[in-house]
Structure 1
């Protein structure tokens, strides 16, 4: 195992793991030496394509409390421990506030926020009893600096951010760490359903200091760090991986600006 952040012998659950950032997280966990990674998602066809040493899959609707309870019970029965929960499942929507349908808003909040809440709630009793454990929740750069046309998504990710910080306060005294990762624009099937070439995607990131979009693997490495003992004093930490997107704004045409 040659990885800067060891997860040697750990058992992890990763949601939204059928593709994109979640799949990259599961893959990086295995590279870091994880004993077993359960890839949980609602996407059956994509899950069926996942295989490899230390990997297993389970169909999971993160909005269903009983499904979470069943997953945790099964994992404990088979492995005896849950060391890591990476709450990554989420959906994205676009629209002006006045145009968003209430049902669509509720669905987005249900998946992005309630799904995260239920996952945490399901693993917390075990982690508290064990006196250890790590939860990494995927928020967003939109929870640090919102943008127009993604108001519902930003609201959901602000909620994940707040929930995670509160959980860090509650669980820290029990040896359980809760942190968040905040990706910028990442090239995934969710954000790039038309599978546009990376160079075309990068053209839309002229306002980002790094002058490009992000790859799922770059987010995954940050999650692995937060899940590992290398971050043993990180609790309530918000790891922003956005190429400098939320650092500030450029004045186009002035020295120092690429725009």
Structure 2
């Protein structure tokens, strides 16, 4: 299926690194005009994969910063077709000892950031009579982990926010969906640097027994942002490789190896 975003303006928060960078690169490849938002960008980006991409510094936890970034996009391009709320942080720690400031920081980025950017793009999308908002949830919103209450709760909040916003914006042909990635090795989680036994233990939870790649997420996000997903809204799409689709997915791989 060919998805072409020629003529469309796509905003990706957290677009300077990790999964967000992969999303930016994919939308560029699909002929979109892409605006990457992040707190900071690597100086080498001007000569690298983000060359030609409009890059704007933006703190998603600050309403003034968000409004300034969205105003700049509208002023420069005159439209906003797609918003991908990718920016997020991970906060770990058991509830008993977790610093309340770290809990608040997790919700400020993962939940308030989604709210602030979504709120800021709504007027432009309403004027156009169409739009796509795609929010990064997590498999942690489905099954959370011990020691990650803040992260799991914040991503569950994103799912409920997505559902409400989808209904509120339905009359203007604006769809709002969320996606739940599984385990993608990044600097934030360090999966690829774990001891082999620990890696195998994690991979055993997956029906498709391999680490997820940024392009696996990009495939889904591009679909959700496209006209092909025009009748899909208020949904959470699990793109975790079948994590815990059954109680012990590794059994199938063990049997297949015999």
TM-score when normalising by structure 1: 0.90
Choose from 35, 40, 53 the match for 2:37. Answer: 40
- Cα distance, 1:249 vs structure 2: 1.4
- Cα distance, 1:231 vs structure 2: 0.9
Aligned partners of 1:197 and 1:93: how far apart in 2? 18
RMSD: 2.4
Runs of 4+ with >6 A deviation: 197-201
- Cα distance, 1:5 vs structure 2: 2.0
Does the CA contact (< 8 Å) of 1:14 and 1:86 recur in 2?
yes
Aligned partners of 2:82 and 2:169: how far apart in 1? 14
Does the CA contact (< 8 Å) of 2:45 and 2:51 recur in 1?
no
- Cα distance, 1:45 vs structure 2: 3.0
Match of residue 138 from structure 2: 140
Match of residue 90 from structure 1: 88
Q: Measured at CA, do residues 199 and 58 of structure 1 come closer, stay the same or move farther in structure 2, by a change above 3 Å?
A: farther
Does the CA contact (< 8 Å) of 1:30 and 1:54 recur in 2?
no
Q: Secondary structure at the match of 1:85?
A: strand
Q: Which runs of 5+ in 1 are unaligned?
A: none
Q: Write the mapping of 1:196-235 to structure 2, written as runs, cut at 5 A.
A: 196=193, 202-203=199-200, 204-235=202-233
Q: Measured at CA, do residues 251 and 41 of structure 1 come closer, stay the same or move farther in structure 2, by a change above 3 Å?
A: closer
- Cα distance, 1:168 vs structure 2: 0.2
Does the CA contact (< 8 Å) of 1:18 and 1:47 recur in 2?
no
Aligned partners of 2:41 and 2:195: how far apart in 1? 27
Aligned partners of 1:243 and 1:89: how far apart in 2? 22
- Cα distance, 1:6 vs structure 2: 2.1
- Cα distance, 1:246 vs structure 2: 4.0
Does the CA contact (< 8 Å) of 1:202 and 1:213 recur in 2?
no
Match of residue 183 from structure 1: 181
Does the CA contact (< 8 Å) of 2:88 and 2:109 recur in 1?
yes
Q: Measured at CA, do residues 246 and 126 of structure 1 come closer, stay the same or move farther in structure 2, by a change above 3 Å?
A: farther
Q: Measured at CA, do residues 76 and 94 of structure 1 come closer, stay the same or move farther in structure 2, by a change above 3 Å?
A: same
Q: Measured at CA, do residues 201 and 42 of structure 1 come closer, stay the same or move farther in structure 2, by a change above 3 Å?
A: farther
Match of residue 70 from structure 1: 68
Aligned partners of 1:218 and 1:59: how far apart in 2? 26
Match of residue 24 from structure 2: 26
- Cα distance, 1:13 vs structure 2: 0.7
Aligned partners of 1:200 and 1:174: how far apart in 2? 51
Q: Measured at CA, do residues 107 and 243 of structure 1 come closer, stay the same or move farther in structure 2, by a change above 3 Å?
A: same
Q: Which runs of 5+ in 2 are unaligned?
A: none
Q: Measured at CA, do residues 257 and 206 of structure 1 come closer, stay the same or move farther in structure 2, by a change above 3 Å?
A: same
Q: Measured at CA, do residues 142 and 73 of structure 1 come closer, stay the same or move farther in structure 2, by a change above 3 Å?
A: same
**Structure with a larger share of its residues in helix:** 2
Does the CA contact (< 8 Å) of 2:19 and 2:214 recur in 1?
yes
Instruction: Deviation per CA, 1:133-167: give whole Å up to 9, x if none.
Output: 10000000111122222111000000000001100
